[in-house]
Structure 1
Amino acid sequence: MGQTLWLWISSILVIVTICNCASSNNQPTITKCEYYNDTLCEISHGEDGCGNNSQECQPAENKPSYCYAFWINNTLTNQLVVKFKGCFLNNVECQGQKQCKDKKEEIKPNGFMFCCCEGDLCNSELLWDPVPTTPRIEPSAIPFHDDDELVHTIVFSTIPLVAVASMFLFLYWVYKRRKIPHFSHVPSSDSSHLGNCSPILSNRPIQLVEVKARGRYGAVWKALHKRDTVAVKIFPPQDKNSWLVEQDIYQLPHMQYDNILSFIGAEKHASVLEGAKNEYWLITAYHDYGSLCDYLKSNILTWDQLCHIAQSMARGLMHLHEEIPSERSDQYKPAIAHRDFKSNNVLLKHDLTACIADFGLALVFQPGKSCGDTHGQVGTRRYMAPEVLEGAINFSRDAFLRIDMYACGLVLWELATRCTAQQGVVPVYKLPFEEEVGPHPSLEDMQECVVHKKLRPAFKDTWKSHPGLIALCDTMEECWDHDAEARLSASCVMERIAWQCRQYNGGAITTLALAP
């Protein structure tokens, strides 16, 4: 009995001991934290134990305690300014943190930073090591990805290209239907020219009568077709291209004009003198007076005759230079530069109306097209503008038209030299610059005279007796101005001459006003 009681008491003691041990093991440990209170330091001036002390954190309700710190990042000194340190109870976020560290990127209101940690004095050292947060993307900013995005991109990129290509193809088709030649266009075959340009003369013989003139590209004959007198310009085989160019220009719309030599047709003939070689004929209207140059050699002009020739010549040059639009594409006339304008290429009709001829060097200017590889230094040296002699041409339409106007001024001077309106005896006819460089000047002679010395044909003192001739001299000077951009246009020359001729009709002065 006694032994049994002892065993029962021993068991109770063992159970109590185990419970006490278990109870003692579940008791939370006390944590030490570094303590600091900036507010107390400010009040007591650091004499009230406000910092640099440790604090024992008493656990509450069997839960562990942690350490914390509250500080500010001073951006000026790049230092941490501690505000508070001490115990922090029952915060699961602090569990496992062995160092007081703030990893959040954003800064709290008023610039405060906070961290907590687990372990004795773990808040003695502070650290801010932010982890960048991923910015939140608004739904509207999220790019839309479609499985067919590549297909859509290709389709939407291709549609404009196809539209532009279709437009260019249409414009090219319209352009080809217009059948307007290129600049200095030379066709590769003869069939189109021989089939269309001369249906009346194609199978009918032309009788050559006599040679009227010889030039750079062959001879000009007086000829008969039935009872009609015609002019035939015969090109040798080596000048076939000039024959093609000239007939192309004659066949452009609106080229059947009173002050342009009338074109009849073109043919290819076997040469009698050169065996089997071909000759190329250009058939035009025939004018008995021939060229202006030939007429002036043996004739003198009254003021009225000078006015008529000068006006009709300027009108022909204006028409040649003019671009004539049309609602019908096959009636469009482009601007044309003659490039060899001179008194030899101005013909006179029976009533002394002038018409322009010889387009072997002419250029046709189509809108939006360049001049290509055209050679600039062409024409007759005596009539070459300064920029042509220098080889410094601006290859544009207006530049070539101004070259024609320089030569026009020289032809007006030729007319004035043979006019009876001047006082005294009319001098013998001479070509422009013949007194300065002689009858056959070289290119170097003309460069020295026109470019370097800037000479122009001299005005005669006898012209001062007639106000019309004086006004005409002003027009000449503005035509042959050294500065090409300062030269008059053909339309302006025609208007000036018409005005001057009305003002000084028959030599009588009807007004004292000068020409505009």
Structure 2
Amino acid sequence: MHPRTQQNMSRTALFVFCCIFWLGQFINGVQSLKCKCDVCPEANYTCQTDGYCFTTTFFGKTGGIEHNYRCLDKLQFFPPEEPQWCRSRPTAESAQLCCRDRDFCNAVLEAQLAMVPHNNEIIRTAPKYSSFSSLEILLLASIPVILLIVIGSVLCYCVMTKRKRGGTHHHLRHGEDSIEAPDHPILKGVSLQHMLEMTTSGSGSGLPLLVQRSIARQIQLVEIIGQGRFGEVWRGRWRGENVAVKIFSSREERSWFREAEIYQTVMLRHDNILGFIAADNKDNGTWTQLWLITDYHEYGSLFDFLGRNTMDTNGMIRMALSIATGLAHLHMDIMGTQGKPAIAHRDLKSKNILVKSNFTCAIGDLGLAVRHDATTDTVDIPLNNRVGTKRYMAPEVLDETMNVNHFDSFKRADVYALGLIFWEIARRCNVGGIYDEYQLPFYDAVPSDPTIEEMRRVVCVDKQRPNIPNRWQSCEALRVMLKLMKECWYHNATARLTALRIKKTLSNFRTSEELKM
């Protein structure tokens, strides 16, 4: 169901609840009718009933007229809809009148006895208390009260709606405090990291939805840190901790939904996958903002980091190993009742990888990812119009020869893109004070924003790959990286290494280097 439809249903339900509550209060008040009671000295001569107050007039033992004042409960009604007791005609010995239009209404009732006919006189009967029946009196009296209840409930509903819409707008203003949402019990006195460890250690599928919404509504946006075709990325604050807030435009709802869905896949959480915190949709009455909240990494994307920094061979291997480890976890299927399906990224590039504070990496931006259903051997391709980044597309994607019904095809395309990312990293490796300036793959072969046709010509027809600097041959670490790159970007997709094989090769090399030290 669409989130906006759910909100409207919730508001309608709240309105109906208010009406029922106040009407119930009114009815409850009617059911607690107070009457004068001449046999209730212990209750200050007062009784309470859900039926009628009544007065009985009769001749006493002394010959004078006397009165009884009592309550008539619904259990004593006969027939049930209106007691015959209240409709009986007066006699010469007794008469009774009933009422329930207000408390103690029977205190002023005086039923008149019927007079015995004499000399053809007309029989005088006890006058009725009203020309309306008791039920009619009740209905007439309740109409203005019900109208007031309905009007009050509508006003209450309108005020609440206005406040809700106005509150959302605070999230759109730069630097302002956000509207505080009620805390979920799990949020009390814990850090984000501790909370995520508590709630995701078993399944790894993310926080409960109510907790996600509570966090999202307490975030203060601080500064914009990136922009893309989907929308904007902000640095936000939650209880003094930095978070990244990816804000999708309403046109990108499918991408937002898909990415949130993939991030909450069972057992996906991993040190080298961008940490997902929450997803929420915010409707301010004019348009809808779609938020995706993740861990914040101050060094930004690998693209940004490589443009500003160089690294030594140990840093290069450490960074490449972390990316290969994250991709191997994505590609791996874990069997079992709480198992994880294999996932292919489909848009792997340096701008979609984040650099952590320890200079390892985490793979992000899973909006185009596909999952493999092992039981049916099918691929759930997302229903959106986005394609991957053309510069990083594998040859079989560019020439449209890839078998989209075979999941391994998507994994092999990811490995091709991984080889290009390794090339970007290796160029920034500083060996003896020598390194290359940062460049994107195929920077010297295609324009800054190449078309599919341009990339197809270079990659598929000419079968070009990024240029390799001569200096790489003189460094063992760079030679290892070069060998891996070439085995990642083979034109024949089936000949490419797997992410797991790449991870093991880098891990073994790193271990051997540590043993030499």
TM (norm. structure 1) is 0.58
Note if 1:370 corresponds to 2:383.
Answer: no
Structure 1 residue aligned with 2:211: 199
Query: Structure 2 counterpart of 1:431, which letter?
Result: L
Residue 424 of structure 1: CA displacement?
A: 5.4
Taking the aligned partners of 2:295 and 2:206, their CA distance within structure 1 comes to: 18
List per-residue Cα deviations over 1:439-488 (Å, max 9, x = no partner): 22121111110000000001100111101211211110000100000000
Counterpart Cα distance in 2 of 1:293 and 1:373: 27
Contact conserved, 2:303 with 2:350, CA < 8 A, in 1? yes
Matched, 1:347 2:354: yes
Q: Deviations over 1:152-211 (max 9, x none)?
A: xxxxxxxxxxxxxxxxxxxxxxxxxxxxxxxxxxx7668699994351542742111111
1:335 to 336, 342, 345: 342
Task: Work out whether residues 383 and 410 of structure 1, in 8 Å CA contact, stay in contact via their aligned partners in 2.
Answer: yes
Q: 1:445 to 1:424 in 2, by over 3 A?
A: farther
Residue 408 of structure 1 and its aligned partner are, at CA, apart by: 0.3
| Deviations 1:407-428, CA, capped at 9 Å, x for gaps | 000001111000013x553121
Is 2:419 aligned against 1:419? no
Q: Tell me, what secondary structure is at the counterpart of 2:246?
A: strand
Alignment of structure 1 residues 299-338 onto 2, 5 Å: 299-326=309-336, 329=337, 331-338=338-345
Larger radius of gyration: 1
CA-CA distance at 1:268 after TM superposition: 1.1
The CA distance in 2 between the partners of 1:335 and 1:372, in whole Å, is 11
2:256 matches 1:246: no
Matched, 1:229 2:242: yes
1:291 aligns with 2:301: yes
Structure 2 distance, partners of 1:455, 1:256, is 36
Distance 1:386 1:377 in 2: 18
Aligned counterparts of 2:350 and 2:381: Cα–Cα separation in 1:
28
Mapped to 2, the partners of 1:323 and 1:471 lie a distance apart of 28
User: Which of 385, 397, 416 is 1:406 aligned to?
Assistant: 416
The residue number in structure 2 matching 1:360 is: 367
Please point out which of 429, 454, 458 is paired with 2:438: 429
2:275 corresponds to 1:262:
yes
Q: 1:385 aligns with which of 385, 394, 406?
A: 394
Match of 1:46 in 2: none
Against the structure 1 CA distance between its residues 324 and 372, is the aligned structure 2 distance closer, same or farther, given a 3 Å change threshold?
closer
The CA distance in 2 between the partners of 1:467 and 1:480, in whole Å, is: 20
- Matched residue SS, 1:355: strand
Q: Quote the residue 2:499 is aligned against.
A: 490
1:377–1:391 CA contact under 8 A, matched in 2: no
CA distance in 1, matches of 2:308, 2:472: 20
The residue aligned with 1:91 is none
1:449 paired to 2:449: no
CA pair 351-394 structure 1, distance change in 2 beyond 3 A: same
**Percent of residue pairs bearing the same amino acid type:** 40
1:477 pairs with 486, 497, 500, which one? 486
Cα 1:399–1:200 change in 2 (3 A) is: closer
> Quick check: 192-201 or 349-358, which moved more?
192-201
Matches within 5 A, 1:53-68: none
Deviation at 1:373, TM superposition (A): 6.6
CA RMSD of aligned residues (A): 2.5
Give distance in 1, aligned partners of 2:367 and 2:393: 16
Residue 362 (structure 1) shift: 0.4
Structure 1 pair 198/355, CA: closer, same or farther in 2 (3 Å)?
A: farther
**CA–CA separation in structure 1 for the residues paired with 2:348 and 2:380:** 21
Deviation at 1:377? 8.6
Q: Distance in 1 between matches of 2:289 and 2:227?
A: 15
Paired with 1:374 and 1:428, the residues of 2 have a C-alpha distance of 37
Residues 373/323 of structure 1: CA separation in 2 closer, same or farther (3 Å cut): closer
**Partner Cα distance (1:228, 1:453) in 2:** 50
Deviation at 1:371, TM superposition (A): 3.0
5+ unaligned residues in a row in structure 1: which ranges?
Answer: 1-186, 511-516
Cα displacement string for residues 27-85 of structure 1 (whole angstroms, at most 9, x for unaligned residues): xxxxxxxxxxxxxxxxxxxxxxxxxxxxxxxxxxxxxxxxxxxxxxxxxxxxxxxxxxx
Instruction: Flag the 1:392–1:426 CA change in 2: closer, same or farther, 3 A.
Output: same
